[in-house]
C-alpha cells in the first residue's frame, strides 16, 4: 500500500481512498462504488470540503424528522459501511429505535454478511437486511430486496449514497426520504424530501449532534422542507468553488526548467 505522508496536501482524501481500495479488495465495496466515490470527491472538492450553511439547515430538518419518526431506518451499502460505520453507531446511540438495514444495489449473501459484520464491529446494534424478506414494488427483483422489519415498514428512510431508482421507489411507497449525496444534480438528490448535500461522514456526525440537541419529540410531525432551495444553494456553492479554485497557489513547487535546445519554455507566460 502507498505510504502516505501526513504532510501531503491531500492526505485526508488519500487515506479515505486507500481505505476504500482496501474495502474493495475485501469484497465490501464494489467497483461501481469506487467510481461513485470518485465522483463524490470531485463534488466535495468544489463544495470546499465543508458543511455549507444550507446543508446544515437540511441536517437540522433531517434530525427533527428522525426524532419525530415512528419507524426510522438507515439504509446501508458497502460504501457507507466502509466509510462511516462508527458514525452510524454514534447516530444510533443518540436515537434509540433507529433501525440500521443493510441494503445493497449489488447484493450477494456474502457481501451482505460482510457488511453487517463491519457495522456490528463498529458498535451498530440489531443490523437488519442480511436476509431479504421483503420487496420494494416497481424495482427489478435483484434490486428490490429489503427487510420486512425495516425499510419495508419505515415511515422515514435515511438513504446515504443511494440509487435514484430506489429513492423514487421508496417515495412512491409513501415513505419520507432523507438523502445524503454530494451531487445536487443526481436523481437521488432531486427526488429526496430532504437532500443533504454533504460528505457522508461529516453529515452523519453533524446529524448526530443535531439529534442530541433536538427539542421535545413531536411524534409524526414532519415540517415541510425546501428541497429545491437546498439543491440550488449547493449548486451555487459548487459553481463558486470551481471558479475560485483556479486562483489557488500550487501545492508543490514547480519542477526545474527543462534544458531544451528547441523553443524556449515560455508557454506558460504567453498572455
User: Smallest distance, Å, CB 84 to a copy of itself?
Assistant: 17
Query: Is the Cβ of residue 129 or residue 195 nearer to a copy of itself in the bound state?
Result: 195
Smallest distance, Å, CB 227 to a copy of itself? 5
Selection from 84, 136, 160 nearest residue 115 by Cα: 84
Question: How far is C-alpha 15 from the chain's CA centre?
Answer: 17
Q: Could you tell me where the DSSP H helices lie in 95-177?
A: 109-121, 164-172
Choose between 32 and 126: whose C-beta lies nearer to a copy of itself. Answer: 32
Provide the terminal-to-terminal Cα distance of the chain, rounded to the nearest Å: 42
Residue 200 near residue 161, CB atoms below 8 Å: yes
Confirm if 157 and 191 have CB atoms less than 8 A apart.
no
Pairwise CA distance, residues 134 & 159, whole Å: 17
Work out how close the CB of 21 gets to a copy of itself at its nearest, in angstroms, rounded to a whole number.
Answer: 4
Q: Residue 59 belongs to what H/E stretch?
A: helix 53-68
**Beta bridge partners of residue 102, listed in sequence order:** 76
Compare residues 38 and 123 and give the one whose CB is closer to a copy of itself: 38
List beta partners, residue 101: 75, 128
Question: C-beta of 181: minimal distance to a copy of itself in Å?
Answer: 12
Q: In terms of CB distance, is 5 or 96 closer to a copy of itself?
A: 5
Residue (19 or 213) nearer to a copy of itself, CB: 19
Contact 197, 54 (CB under 8 A): yes
- Minimum gap (Å) between residue 40 Cβ and a copy of itself: 7
Amino acid at each position: 500500500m502507498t505510504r502516505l505522508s501526513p504532510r501531503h496536501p491531500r492526505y485526508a482524501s488519500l487515506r479515505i481512498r486507500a481505505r476504500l481500495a482496501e474495502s474493495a479488495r475485501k469484497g465490501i465495496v464494489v467497483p461501481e462504488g469506487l467510481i461513485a466515490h470518485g465522483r463524490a470527491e470531485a463534488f466535495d472538492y468544489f463544495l470546499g470540503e465543508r458543511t455549507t450553511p444550507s446543508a446544515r439547515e437540511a441536517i437540522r430538518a433531517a434530525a427533527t424528522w428522525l426524532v419525530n419518526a415512528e419507524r426510522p431506518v438507515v439504509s446501508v451499502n458497502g460504501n457507507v459501511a466502509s466509510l462511516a460505520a462508527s458514525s452510524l453507531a454514534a447516530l444510533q446511540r443518540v436515537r434509540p429505535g433507529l433501525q440500521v438495514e443493510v441494503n445493497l444495489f449489488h447484493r450477494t449473501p456474502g457481501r451482505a454478511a460482510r457488511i453487517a459484520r463491519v457495522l456490528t464491529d463498529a458498535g451498530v446494534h440489531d443490523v437488519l437486511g442480511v436476509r431479504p424478506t421483503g420487496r420494494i414494488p416497481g424495482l427489478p427483483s435483484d434490486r428490490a430486496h429489503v427487510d420486512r422489519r425495516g425499510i419495508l415498514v419505515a415511515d422515514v428512510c435515511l438513504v446515504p449514497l443511494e440509487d435514484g431508482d430506489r429513492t423514487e421507489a421508496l417515495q412512491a411507497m409513501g415513505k419520507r426520504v432523507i438523502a445524503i449525496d454530494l451531487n445536487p444534480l443526481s436523481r437521488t438528490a432531486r427526488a429526496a424530501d430532504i437532500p443533504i448535500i454533504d460528505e457522508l461522514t461529516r453529515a452523519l456526525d453533524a446529524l448526530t449532534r443535531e439529534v442530541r440537541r433536538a427539542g421535545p419529540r413531536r411524534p409524526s410531525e414532519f415540517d415541510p422542507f425546501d428541497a429545491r432551495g437546498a439543491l440550488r444553494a449547493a449548486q451555487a456553492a459548487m459553481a463558486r468553488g470551481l471558479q475560485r479554485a483556479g486562483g489557488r497557489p500550487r501545492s508543490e513547487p514547480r519542477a526545474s526548467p527543462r534544458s531544451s535546445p528547441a523553443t524556449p519554455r515560455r508557454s506558460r507566460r504567453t498572455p
